[in-house]
Copies of this chain bind each other. A is one copy, B any other.
Amino acid sequence: MTASPVLGNLFIIAAPSGAGKSSLIRALLEKHPDQSMQVSVSSTTRAPRPGEVQGVHYHFLSTEEFEQRIDAGEFYEWARVFGNYYGTSRKAVESLLAEGKDVFLDIDWQGAQQVREHHPEVRSVFIVPPSLEILEERLRVRGQDSDEVIAERMAKAQAEMSHYHEFDYLLVNDDFNNSLASLEHIVLAQRQKMPHQQIRYSSVLKELLG
C-alpha cells in the first residue's frame, strides 16, 4: 500500500523538575529507534558545558544572533533566564515535522502558551510526581543541597504545577512503565487523527470511494 508524505505531530511535554520528564522522553525515543519521534533542540546563548555538542544538546548562538532571530520572529517561544536566552526555533521544528517526525518540545508553561498561539493544533502533556514527598526525595537525590535550596526548588516546582490545567493531557508519574505507556498512547493515537490519515492514505481513500 502506498502512503503519502504527511506532516508529523507537535507535542509539548512540560513538568516540574523532579517529575521524571527527561527519563520518560528518553525511554520513549529508545522504544522507537526508527527516529519517528524527536526532541526539538533548543537554541541558547549560554556557554556550552563540557561535553555539550553544538546542534545536539543546544544550538549555541551569540546574544546578537539570538536577538536578531527574536526580531525576525524565528522562535516559536523564547525566554530569558538568568541573563541567558533560551528558545525554540520555528524553522528547526517545521523541518522535522515536514519529514513526518513527531516532535517533542521540552518547555515550561510559559513557552507552552507561546507555542499554542503559533501552532494551535499542538497537543500538550503535563507530567506531575505522585506526591510532594516523592518530589522532594527526587530533588534531594541530585546532590547535597541545603534545605533552603530544596525549599526554593519545591516552590518553583509548585509554581510550574499550578499551570497543569492548561494542558491537554495529564500524567501522574507514580509508575514509570505505566507513564511511559501512557505517553506512547498519546503520541501514537495522534497519528490516527483524521486530517493526517486523510493525507497519508489519500490514494487508498480515492480508490475505496471510487
Contact = CB atoms under 8 A, between A and B. Distances in A.
Interface of A: 1, 125, 128-132, 135, 158, 161-162, 164-165, 167-172, 174, 181-182, 184-186, 188-194, 197-198, 201, 204-205, 207-210
Contact of A186 (B128, B182, B189, B198): B189
Top 9 nearest A-B pairs (CB, nearest first) are A189-B189, A170-B197, A185-B188, A185-B189, A169-B192, A186-B189, A185-B185, A182-B192, A172-B201
Q: How many copies does the complex hold?
A: 2
B197 A172 contact: yes
Nearest to A164: B205
B208 A131 contact: yes
Given A131-B207, A158-B210, A161-B209, A169 B185 contact: no
A192 B173 CA distance: 12
A61 B158 CA distance: 56
A25 to B, nearest CB: 16
Nearest to A154: B210
A183 to B, nearest CB: 8
A164 to B, nearest CB: 7
Contacts of A204: 128, 130-131, 172
A198 B129 contact: no
Given A130-B204, A131-B207, A184-B185, 12 more contacts: A1-B172, A128-B208, A131-B208, A158-B210, A169-B197, A170-B197, A172-B201, A172-B204, A185-B192, A186-B189, A189-B189, A189-B190
B169 A193 contact: yes
Contacts of A198: 165, 170
